[in-house]
Amino acid sequence: MKLILIRYMFQITVLAISLLKIAYAVSRPLFYSGPDANGYMPAALAFAELGYLSKEIPFLPIYPPGYPIALSILIRIFQDNWIYAAQVVQILIFALGTILVREMLNSYFTKIIGNISAFLLILSPAWFVANGEAMYETLLFFYISASLYFFLRGKISSRGTFLNPILGSFFSVLAISTHPRVLIIYVILFLTYIYNSRKALKESTMVIWISICINFLGIILLGYLSVVRTGIFTLSSALWPSMTNNSVLGGCTDFQCVVLKIFGSPFDFLLESLSNFAAFWSPHSGSLARGSWFHNISLLAQLEKYQLTLISIIIGILFTFIVIGSWVFGTFQLWRTNRNCAFMFTFLTSLSFLLTDILVYGDNRHRLIALIFMIPAHGVTTASVIRKYKPKLLRYLRDEAVIA
């Protein structure tokens, strides 16, 4: 019995956490507490009632259509019980996405990194709550995980050479329709893939062109559908409204304005960038939280609930430095031991999320998706701690025959 528990430790953990998430989500009005619930829920109801080409869908094109369209399908199927269905589906697809992330990291790094990273994801307190809320992040997490799994499946499995980029592109278009910001992920992926395949580029040309063409056609289609619904060719018009969160760039509606304001107030822009950096790394709860979303099940929230604010702030500061230090230390260790395209892709993608926040506006909510790419570094740091204090545990994490 003990050997069975050890062998399937990860799968048992995923199942147990998923059941706990479902029980927590359906036992309270959690779905409504999503930061954009007042936008996504009416849009989803409108899609379900009026159809997918209607010009009367609210909150478009500021909100991308991917998430409300997915919700509208559940509305059509489950009717009055659609919110419960959405919560259960989101929790299950997050579990599936975590399994895919684990398999990819096991193949491109080491089994220790992959397994620890997967445990960190499934046990994340932030994701524990986010999965049950009206937030696009869970769906986006799954789309990104699925797309990367198929794009990178060439190393995991040699089967389906041309089917893999087709499926990967299908999910990447869905990801872009959910939040256009993730375009940078696929740009970096293609660049690192081309660099990695430079010695056999001719053999990879077909795979590259299949992926580029499907993604390009998908973006054109999304833009065309936006024209049909709103009269504007765009994936989302949220960029300039979001500038209101930046004290220097607020009010800008074009890039010329951005450049003029940066060069007109360089010191203020530097201070704002430092503030954005702090906001990106801030806790998801408590007085130090800086972003459009928080959860109240953390230690910090409970301390403040009992008016222990000072202790919460001290722990929050300590935790923030630990998180930053974990990523920096883990990134350095990965660079020393895995100077390959997998490291380059995860590092550059993580850096792009961080730099975007620094230059535009900071939000700790953005760390939810960035965690997909930062998690290998955190996995390395955690492995270093385990190696020092509980070395026997690494044997189970390393041995595929035991834990895979």
Q: Give the closest residue to 93 by CA, choosing from 136, 152, 30, 49.
A: 136
| pLDDT, tens digit, 9 for 90 and up, residues 150-164 | 998 865 444 557 889
Q: Given this model, what pLDDT does residue 194 score?
A: 81
Q: How far is CA 73 from the centre of its chain?
A: 22
Could you give the maximum distance between any two Cα atoms of the chain, in Å?
68
Q: Given this model, what pLDDT does residue 3 score?
A: 53
The confidence band for 125, taking pLDDT boundaries of 50, 70 and 90, is very high
The confidence band for 294, taking pLDDT boundaries of 50, 70 and 90, is confident
| pLDDT, tens digit, 9 for 90 and up, residues 76-85 | 999 999 999 9
Signed CA dihedral, 300, 303, 305, 309: sign only: negative
| pLDDT, tens digit, 9 for 90 and up, residues 228-258 | 999 999 999 998 998 889 999 999 999 999 9
pLDDT above 70 for 360? yes
| pLDDT, tens digit, 9 for 90 and up, residues 339-349 | 788 999 999 99
Instruction: Give the residue carrying structure tokens 């929230």.
Output: 301
Tokens linked to 221: 């289609």
| pLDDT, tens digit, 9 for 90 and up, residues 131-149 | 999 999 999 999 999 999 9
Tokens linked to 73: 């399908």
pLDDT above 50 for 400? no
Q: Given this model, what pLDDT does residue 402 score?
A: 41
d(Cα 331, Cα 257) in Å, to the nearest integer?
36
Q: Structure pTM?
A: 0.94
Mean pLDDT of all residues in the chain? 91
Mean pLDDT, rounded, for 44-72: 97
pLDDT above 50 for 1? yes
Per the rule left: phi > 0, alpha: psi between -120 and 50, beta: everything else, 159 is: beta
d(Cα 172, Cα 176) in Å, to the nearest integer?
6
| pLDDT, tens digit, 9 for 90 and up, residues 178-233 | 999 999 999 999 998 887 776 666 667 778 888 999 999 999 999 999 999 999 99
Q: Given this model, what pLDDT does residue 4 score?
A: 60
Mean pLDDT, rounded, for 296-320: 92
Cβ atoms of residues 47 and 57 within 8 Å: yes
pLDDT above 50 for 49? yes
Mean pLDDT, rounded, for 304-322: 94
Q: Given this model, what pLDDT does residue 157 score?
A: 45
Q: How far is CA 238 from the centre of its chain?
A: 18
pLDDT above 90 for 338? no
Give DSSP secondary structure letters for 49-87. HH-TT-S--TTTTTS-SHHHHHHHHHHHHHGGGHHHHHH
Mean pLDDT, rounded, for 358-368: 95
